Amino acid sequence: MSTKKETQNKMQTKQILSVFHRVIELIARGIFLFVAYVKGPAKIQPPIKDLTLLHSASALALKIRSKQLTSEDVVFSYIERIKEIQPMLNCVVKDRFEEALKDARKCDELLKSQDAPSAEFLEREKPLFGVPFTTKDCIAVANMCQTAGLVARKNITVDRDAKAIELMRSAGAIPLALTNVSELAMWWESSNCLFGTTKNPYNTRCIVGGSSGGEGCIQAAAGSPLGIGSDIGGSIRMPAFFNGIFGHKPSKGVVSNDGQYPSAHSDDQDQLLAIGPMCRYAHDVTLTLKILADKKADLLKLDEKVDISRIKIYYMEDDGGQRLISPVDPEIKATMKKVLNYFEKAHNIKATKINVKKLRKGLALWLANMTCKDDKDFSYELTNRQGHINIGLEFIKWVLFMSNHTLVALFTAMFEKCGMKYGSEEHVKLMQESKDLSQEFKDILGEDGVFLYPTHPTAAPMHHEPLVKPFNFSYTAIINVLGLPATACPLGLNKQGLPIGIQVVGGLYQDHLTLAIAEELERGFGGWVPPAIVA
């Protein structure tokens, strides 16, 4: 009887906490709205005047190799667009404009030379020949900074490309700029003490997500034809969702994590981390992933034609009621239903609603997989791996405006210190549950199924609002635990004019299925919503 009563008491306590958290959320939302009202109207991104910016990366590559456009003109168009949006959105932290123009001229000169390669050769061997791209300030680009938003790394310059950047260059692409991130890529708002806060192009009062938030922003604002992000808990998919673009987290172990900082400390962490593409157009995601996967591309069957009507679709509208996490917005649920209706009418697919109970433990499972031995926690990372910060002292310094760290970084360090320990009974139990959940999804999805799931419970919140809803990233984080491929797909704007969408999850190495669904959703729902166009 006492055990039953204890269980009831625990459930009541959890319910009270959830209600209290929801009240705090609503109060905080009201405060943020009032402050925004006092500050004046939100800004939106400037209109597009140069129609070159509306081409997909693959279309640009075709036009460059067929000499309809020059690489120099394309690069120049994007440089001008970045200069136009940067003062308002603050998405770029470092550029290589002059070097990129030089690289572009070399491409154009090669095409004009007697030894010019054929268009067929370029399409096969250098499919992004002459096309610029951007990447987040966590992924190494030779002779550029790699700060990861940490003040202690402000003077660090790397001398070699990350493997992903090396592969992009080999495919003919030209690095253009580095984009803003959250401090050490461990928060879902892109803001740090080095470069400040990046703002949402659809409403500057709102966040762009993190940690690849600057990359999501620059793509949505047409400041880059394609980008490279990294994702350990949703850092590609949340920014893609908040900014209305496509973002893909590949199957675990397919794309090299070499050159990403912070690097993983354990095999468990490395399995969570994935580098992948962020693009306005779904087709560009597939093209870029093929480049990034390199020798493992065949494993993903990206050239295989997919018959949509043969795909089995499973879905959940929410996580089943995880505590201290916002409820899924009704507009997102309504959009999910529209997607299900679309596939039933267009492809005669009757989706199956499932109830995976372990998704209610998504946050706990992710935290267990992130737990490190050897005391290499977040307080260690905040010193640039030179020791551990004094968390109490840093809080005092923050209050006195003397700290080099964001408030959320300090809370993260404190949370980890008080959290579960590697090898503890709780840790071992949760790691086993992670394996059980992986097997459950393997049984559900097989090699012909996809799982539709919210990318996030709400559209982009206002700046600093994530502080009162810190665990909402669990919708993406749990997919990292599973190591499965997931594509964030935009599905238009909500009533407030902010992007919403869903993520499409596939079985291990079934990336081609999630990407095929992404392309189908782009055809059915329009994909990326561009800013106004001035002819």
Cα 456 from Cα 241, distance rounded (Å): 8
Whether residue 211 is preceded by a cis peptide bond, meaning omega within 30 degrees of 0, is yes
Structure tokens at 106: 């070399």
User: Quick one: pLDDT at residue 185?
Assistant: 97
The predicted pLDDT at position 271 comes to 93
Give the CATH number of domain 16-294+311-371+420-525.
Answer: 3.90.1300.10
Whole-number pLDDT of residue 34: 81
Q: Residue 461 phi/psi, 5° resolution?
A: -75, 175
Active-site annotation, residues: 136, 211, 235
Taking the alpha carbons at both ends of the chain, their separation in whole angstroms is 75
3-state secondary structure of 188: coil
Task: Report the helix count and the strand count for the chain, using DSSP H and E.
Answer: 18, 13
Give the other-Cβ count within 10 Å of 30's Cβ: 10
**Structure confidence at residue 8 (pLDDT):** 67
- Alpha-helical segments (H) within 66-96: 71-89
Return the pLDDT at 11.
61
CA–CA dist 70, 75 (Å, integer): 9
Question: What integer pLDDT is reported at residue 23 of this predicted model?
Answer: 87
Write out the chain's pLDDT in tens, 535 residues. Answer: 556 676 666 667 767 777 878 888 888 888 888 877 777 788 888 999 999 999 999 999 999 999 999 999 999 999 999 999 999 999 999 999 999 999 999 999 999 999 999 999 999 999 999 999 999 999 999 999 999 999 999 999 999 999 999 999 999 999 999 999 999 999 999 999 999 999 999 999 999 999 999 999 999 999 999 999 999 999 999 999 999 999 999 999 999 999 999 999 888 899 999 999 999 999 999 999 999 999 999 999 999 999 999 999 999 999 998 989 999 999 999 999 999 999 999 999 999 999 999 999 999 999 999 998 888 899 999 999 999 999 999 999 999 999 999 999 999 999 998 889 999 999 999 999 999 999 999 999 999 999 999 999 999 999 999 999 999 999 999 999 999 999 999 999 999 999 999 999 999 999 999 999 999 999 999 999 998 887 6
pLDDT of amino acid 19: 80
